């Protein structure tokens, strides 16, 4: 019998379930290593998902998957098994629940610890609407339960314990690594049969521990919880990676997230950061590192291996990470908080008013900054520049390659106030040396005359240099600010002398680097064209595809130069004897006017557009 929907599953005789579970695991093991995705977490919830869809009637009984990375089996049981081959690919299934894909999917946000708050809200809505024959079900991992939001929700659920709300605690003892803190210890005692649970202490129901791989036991516990018509925590004990020996043998993270094959011999941004931090920490005992349950994914495992006492894993608790870093800084340390950029959102207030207000020497290292790709809209790191731009005293750096990452990390650790570094997912590009300095910035290409200036942040510098190469005769200068925010006054002064200033950033358009440059140059003759990720929720697709779609590759920069008309120059009142406004180009600190790239043959389009750019007929001034 084929299971095309939960009703088919509910009609299946119980003795067919082991066979179905095996088929589901076969699909996961066959597909996910090819597509990339969360293999370990989904192998661990096969039986649990079968039991959930046999006991509850989704979507009438809404299933809320915390974080959503463990919903592949749910997708297969709700009619999407045939589409699994396109998982996480452009136009294919999302790696997380997707409301566009199915009525059975509810929460698309992949940020952890939100499910219980959603469930609290859903249960309240059903009560107000008189629909209390519906049961709300939240599936939350032991890792996600270390997030503060989960306890805010439990505190509120405890106020109205007599609502049909089932909290399925999927306890596999791990986030990526083993779950940390007092909660992990408490769950271990509950697994050993100690009682009472903290949940009962709050006035909620508690059932467990239940074998999370025994569908019959799971069904019995879930039916009991459903009949109780109150808020009940069902404590399910599962194994991450269950049924697949290589995952079970993976002591780092049980194949939490496997990547699609992407051959590259270049070091990842993460590994360059991890090695450099360990090197600095070896000679500076004030340097400590913090992670929100992502020690290895952020590269801190290198330091943890040699100095475990210098790396603090606080659980999935970014606010705790940043504010406790403020405490560490007040205590004389220089903390480095390593996060994925998108998860900084969770700790904005901590960054602003615990670190920024006190001007503390805390360094945020934001991996996965910018477009990340297959993890989709809530994982792209598009908001950090706008958030950090709002923090007075915060200095933000964006390295363009490994050498600059090492350089800028050391500069940040030598800074007495708040700093941040941001770099993307993946491997570092080849080093790109500057030809001179302009303030804190590196001049990468010095174009003739003050015509076009491209201010390219982070690895977009490579696309900018390629764009300059394709625009001979346009006098394109390329500068990498290195320290992106606050703006470098020398860079802005030079930019004000240009006809056209193109800024490039792998981040959201609103409130980022380009916005800041446009504001700074508003009163000048320079036309500013900010190139950034359009301020929208960006779908899941390969990073390079999305960067090109948002005009952040060399083609996009070339197009911006060719299609942007300089500002109409304000008619200058002639002042007898006044020196003509200087249109000198970028001059390196060595004082020489640096030559631009060698000219090559000009197309008619280029010539025509160049004359438009430089003014009818005359060549550059």
Ligand X SMILES: Cc1ncc(C[n+]2csc(CCOP(=O)(O)OP(=O)(O)O)c2C)c(N)n1
Q: Which of residues 98-127 bind ligand X (CB under 6 A)?
A: 110-112
Name the one range near ligand DXP by CB under 6 A: 134-142, 367-375, 450-458, 530-538.
367-375
Please check whether residue 350 is in contact with residue 324, taking contact to mean a CB–CB distance below 8 angstroms: no
Taking CB under 6 A as the binding criterion, the range among 240-248, 302-310, 368-376, 492-500 that sits at the site for ligand DXP is: 368-376
Site for ligand DXP in 280-299 (CB under 6 A): 297
d(C-alpha 110, C-alpha 95), whole Å: 9
292's contact among ligand DXP, Mg ion, ligand X, none, with CB below 5 to 8 A by partner kind, is ligand X
Which of the 8 DSSP states describes residue 433? Answer: -
For residues 412 and 419, what is the distance between their CA atoms, to the nearest angstrom?
Answer: 6
* 240 lies in the site for ligand X, by CB under 6 A: yes
Least distance to Mg ion, CB of residue 41, Å: 7
75 among known catalytic residues: no
Catalytic residue among 163, 254, 302, 346: 346
Report if residue 425 touches ligand DXP, rule: CB under 6 A: yes
Task: Specify the long-range contacts of residues 516-521, CB closer than 8 Å, at least 24 apart.
Answer: 516/389, 516/485, 516/486, 516/487, 517/455, 517/487, 517/492, 520/487, 520/492, 520/495, 521/492, 521/495, 521/496
Question: Is residue 318 a contact point for Mg ion (CB under 5 A)?
Answer: no
Query: What is the closest distance, in whole angstroms, from the C-beta atom of residue 212 to ligand DXP in the complex?
Result: 20
Render 36-99 in DSSP notation, one character per residue: -B-HHHHHTTHHHHHHHHHHS-TTTS-EEESSSTT-HHHHIIIIIGGGGGGTTSTTS--SS--T
Taking the complex as a whole, the smallest distance from the CB of residue 113 to Mg ion amounts, in Å, to 12
The C-alpha atoms of residue 365 and residue 421 are separated, in whole angstroms, by 5
With 0-12 / 13-18 / 19 or more C-beta atoms within 10 angstroms meaning exposed / middle / buried, residue 132 is middle
Question: What stretches of 473-595 show up as alpha helix (H) in DSSP?
Answer: 489-496, 513-520, 543-549, 554-563
Q: Which of 333, 332, 351, 331 shows the shortest CA–CA distance to 341?
A: 351
Q: Report d(CA 165, CA 139) in Å as an integer.
A: 11
113 binds Mg ion (CB under 5 A): no
**Which of Mg ion, ligand DXP, ligand X, none is residue 144 near (CB under 5 to 8 Å by kind)?**
ligand X
Among 105, 142, 480, 505, binds Mg ion (CB under 5 A): 142
Is residue 318 annotated as a catalytic residue, yes or no? Answer: yes
Nearer of residues 104 and 240 to ligand X, judged by Cβ = 240
| 110 annotated as a binding-site residue | yes
Of these, 94, 115, 135, 172, which contacts ligand X (CB under 6 A)?
A: 172
Stretch that binds Mg ion, among 3-11, 140-148, 462-470, 534-542 (CB under 5 A): 140-148
**Residue 598 in contact with residue 455, Cβ under 8 Å?**
no
With beta carbons less than 8 A apart as the criterion, state whether 187 and 140 touch: no
Was 213 annotated as part of a binding site? no
Please pick, from the candidates 29, 183, 257, 260, the single residue that binds ligand DXP as defined by CB under 6 A: 257
CA 292 to chain centre: 13
For ligand X, the binding residue among 50, 122, 292, 558 (CB under 6 A) is 292
315 makes contact with Mg ion (CB under 5 A): no
Contacts of 469 (CB under 8 A, 6+ apart): 597
Q: What's the closest the beta carbon of residue 584 comes to ligand DXP, in angstroms?
A: 45
Q: According to the binding rule CB under 6 A, does residue 343 interact with ligand X?
A: yes
554-581 as b/e: b if 16+ CB within 10 A: bebbbebbbebebeeeeeeeeeeeeeee
Cβ closest to ligand DXP, residue 256 vs residue 404 = 256
The helix (run of H) or strand (run of E) holding residue 139 is strand 136-141
Least CB distance to Mg ion at residue 169 (A): 10
What's the number of CA atoms in the CB half-sphere (13 Å) around residue 427?
8
Within 172-211, the residues that bind Mg ion by CB under 5 A are 172, 174
Binds Mg ion (CB under 5 A): choice among 62, 141, 374, 473:
141
Determine which one of 240, 368, 406, 497 is catalytic. 240
Residue 375 interacting entry, from ligand X, Mg ion, ligand DXP, none, C-beta within 5 to 8 Å by type: ligand DXP
d(CA 117, CA 404): 42
| 143 binding Mg ion? (CB under 5 A) | yes
Return the HEC string of 255-301.
Answer: CCCECCCCCCCCCEHHHHHHHHHHHHHHHCCCEEEEECCCCCCCCCH
For ligand X, give the closer residue by CB, 145 or 517.
Answer: 145
**Total Cβ atoms within 10 A of residue 602:** 15
Q: Choosing from 219, 242, 318, 505, which is the catalytic residue?
A: 318
Is 111 annotated as contributing to ligand binding? yes
Is 224 among the annotated ligand-binding positions? no
Chosen from Mg ion, ligand DXP, ligand X, none, partner binding at 368 (C-beta under 5 to 8 Å by type) = ligand DXP
Taking CB under 6 A as the binding criterion, the range among 54-62, 171-179, 199-207, 329-337 that sits at the site for ligand X is 171-179
Both tokens of 347, joined, read 């700790």
Confirm if 533 and 382 have CB atoms less than 8 A apart: yes
Residue 143 assigned to a binding site: yes
Residue with the shortest CB distance to ligand X: 141
Smaller CB separation from ligand X, 93 or 144: 144
Does 19 participate in catalysis according to the annotation? no
The set of catalytic residues is 240, 318, 346
Residues near ligand X (CB under 6 A) are 41, 67, 69-70, 110-112, 141-144, 170, 172, 174-176, 240, 256, 292-294, 316, 318, 343, 346
Contacts to ligand DXP by CB under 6 A: 67, 69, 110, 256-257, 297, 368, 372, 375, 425
């Amino acid at each position: 019998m084929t299971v095309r929907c939960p009703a088919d599953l509910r009609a299946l005789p119980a003795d067919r379930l082991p066979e179905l579970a095996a088929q589901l695991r076969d699909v996961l093991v066959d597909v996910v290593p090819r597509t990339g995705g969360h293999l370990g977490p989904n192998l661990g919830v096969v039986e649990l998902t079968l039991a959930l869809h046999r006991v509850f009637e989704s979507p009438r009984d809404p299933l809320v998957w915390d974080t959503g990375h463990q919903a592949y089996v749910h997708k297969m049981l709700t009619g999407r098994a045939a589409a699994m081959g396109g998982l996480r690919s452009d136009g294919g299934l999302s790696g997380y629940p997707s409301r566009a894909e199915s009525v059975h999917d509810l929460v698309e946000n992949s940020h952890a610890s939100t499910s219980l708050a959603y469930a609290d809200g859903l249960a309240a809505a059903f009560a107000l609407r008189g629909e209390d024959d519906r049961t709300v079900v939240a599936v939350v991992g032991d890792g996600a339960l270390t997030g503060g939001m989960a306890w805010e929700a439990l505190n509120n659920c405890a106020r109205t314990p007599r609502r049909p709300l089932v909290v399925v605690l999927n306890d596999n003892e791990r986030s990526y690594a083993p779950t940390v803190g007092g909660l992990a210890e408490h769950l271990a005692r509950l697994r050993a049969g100690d009682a009472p649970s903290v949940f009962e202490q709050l006035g909620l129901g508690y059932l467990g521990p239940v074998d999370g791989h025994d569908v019959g036991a799971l069904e019995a516990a879930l039916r009991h919880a459903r009949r109780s018509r109150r808020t009940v925590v069902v404590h399910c004990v599962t194994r991450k990676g269950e049924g697949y020996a290589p995952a079970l043998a993976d002591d780092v993270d049980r194949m939490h997230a496997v990547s699609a094959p992407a051959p590259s011999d270049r070091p990842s941004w993460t590994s360059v950061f991890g090695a450099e931090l360990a090197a600095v920490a070896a000679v500076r005992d004030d340097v400590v590192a913090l992670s929100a349950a992502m020690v290895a994914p952020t590269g801190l495992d290198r330091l943890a291996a040699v100095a475990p006492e210098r790396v603090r894993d606080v659980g999935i608790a970014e606010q705790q990470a940043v504010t406790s870093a403020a405490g560490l800084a007040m205590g004389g340390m220089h903390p480095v908080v390593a996060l994925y950029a998108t998860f900084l959102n969770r700790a904005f207030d901590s960054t602003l008013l615990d670190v920024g207000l006190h001007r503390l020497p805390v360094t945020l290292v934001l991996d996965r900054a910018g477009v990340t790709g297959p993890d989709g809209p809530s994982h792209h790191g598009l908001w950090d520049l706008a958030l950090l731009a709002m923090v007075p005293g915060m200095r933000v750096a964006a390295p363009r390659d490994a050498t600059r990452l090492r350089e800028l990390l050391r500069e940040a650790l030598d800074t007495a106030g708040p700093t941040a570094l941001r770099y993307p997912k993946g491997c570092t590009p080849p080093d790109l040396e500057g030809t001179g300095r302009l303030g804190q910035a590196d001049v990468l290409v010095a174009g003739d005359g003050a015509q076009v200036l491209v201010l390219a942040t982070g690895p977009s510098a490579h696309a900018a240099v390629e764009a300059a190469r394709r625009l001979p005769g346009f006098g394109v200068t390329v500068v990498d600010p290195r320290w992106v925010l606050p703006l470098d006054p020398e860079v802005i002064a030079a930019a004000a002398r240009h006809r056209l200033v193109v800024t490039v950033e792998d981040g959201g358009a609103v409130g980022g680097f380009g916005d800041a440059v446009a504001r700074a140059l508003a009163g000048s003759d320079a036309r500013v064209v900010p190139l950034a990720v359009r301020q929208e929720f960006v779908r899941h697709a390969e990073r390079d595809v999305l960067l090109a779609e948002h005009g952040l590759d060399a083609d996009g920069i070339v197009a911006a130069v060719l299609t942007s008309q300089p500002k109409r120059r304000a008619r200058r009142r002639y002042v007898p004897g006044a020196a003509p406004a200087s249109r000198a180009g970028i001059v390196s600190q060595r004082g020489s006017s640096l030559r631009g790239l060698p000219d090559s043959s000009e197309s008619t389009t280029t010539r025509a557009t160049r004359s438009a750019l430089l003014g009818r007929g005359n060549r550059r001034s």
